[in-house]
Structure formats: C-alpha cells, structure tokens
Structure 1
Amino acid sequence: MDAQQLNSLITALSSMATAMQQQQPTAGATNFIDTIMGNAPVKEVAQAAANSVTGASQPAEKPKCKACCACPETKKARDACIVERGEENCTGLIEAHKQCMRAQGFNI
C-alpha cells in the first residue's frame, strides 16, 4: 500500500468515525470509534474479527490461509492507527489483531 492509498484509507476511516459519532449505537454494539482508537475491549474485538473470518467461535487448529491474508479487518484498523497515532498509542488494536491471528491458528 503506497502513501496515497494509506491517506485515502485514513480519510475514509475518519469520515466513517465522524458519521458513526453522530448516530446512536444499537444495544450491545461496540462504538466504531472505540474500536478504531483501541478503546474497545480487546477480547470483544478479536472475537468478533475471528468470528467474521472463520464463522466459528472456536480457535482453528491449523491455519487455513497465509498469515498475510488472515484477519484483514483487524490488520487494516491496526495499520491505520499505527500510521496515524504511533505504535505506542495502538496497543489495543495490536493486541486485537494478535488475538484474531491466534484464533486463526497462528502461533503469535
């Protein structure tokens, strides 16, 4: 991903975050901004990402894809956060991605 694409992704995420701030979240829903900024519960985010990829709540025994292709949702959010805010401010998203990778069967 080049710098222009990354800036476009950050702009899109910022626009989505602004739009989501103006809406009332549904009961039990994690606020999009909390998820992106790393304030959402890590376990909840990782489990949701793992479930969306595998369709199951049990950890996979053996990875079904390459590490570069696993957990694209958490990977994008983590990468955008690191570029925008720095690694030290994105520990929640980093941990969420690690949890998702573990749920996919990777030893992280």
Structure 2
Amino acid sequence: MKPHSLIEAAIRLLGSEAKLGAACGVTQGAIWKAKRAGRVSGELAVKIERATEKSITRRDLRPDLWDASTQEDVTALLYLTSQRSEDSAAASQVDGPGATPRSVQA
C-alpha cells in the first residue's frame, strides 16, 4: 500500500484528520498536508504508528527510513528528534522582551 493510502487508512481508523492530528500531537492541517504530499516525516510516521496502535506501521509509511531487520535507524531518529527539541527549547529561552536568547549570549 502506498503512503497516501496508508495516511487515509489512519484517518479512517481514528475518524477524521483532526482526530488523527490530535492523537499525534499535530494539527489537522499537518495531517492534510502529509496526505496531500503522500509522504510523512519520520517523526510523524512514529506518531501515526502509536496513534493507530501499530495498525499502520512506521515501516509501511517510510520504508526508506526503517529496515525491518534493524533498530539502529530508530535509535538514530529518536536521537535526532530529541536534539532538535533541546535546540528549540534552548533557543526559546529569553531574559525578557527584546532580549537575546541565552543560547546565543556570550
């Protein structure tokens, strides 16, 4: 099954784009965009797998990222995702209006 069809199947399982988005922690618009593009990010593939209780797997959605025989790529994705979250959190910390983010201050 192609990713576009899999995304539609996930939407049907959860009941709507909005419900799938809520279960994945993203907006309805993000689900619509992924459906229209026929492709999801690795991070969204993991979230859809969890939201559908593995009825739609990350491997089905993104076979280019996950080889069924190894878990190394999963570990790498989780590491990259956590790094991106930490970088975003550090960049958003400021001392007040108009202040430079702490991660940039000398």
The TM-score, its normalising length taken from structure 2, stands at 0.26
Q: Which has the higher helix share?
A: 1
Bigger RCO of structures 1 and 2 (CA < 8 A, at least 6 apart): 1
When Rg is computed on C-alpha atoms for both structures, the one with the higher figure is: 2
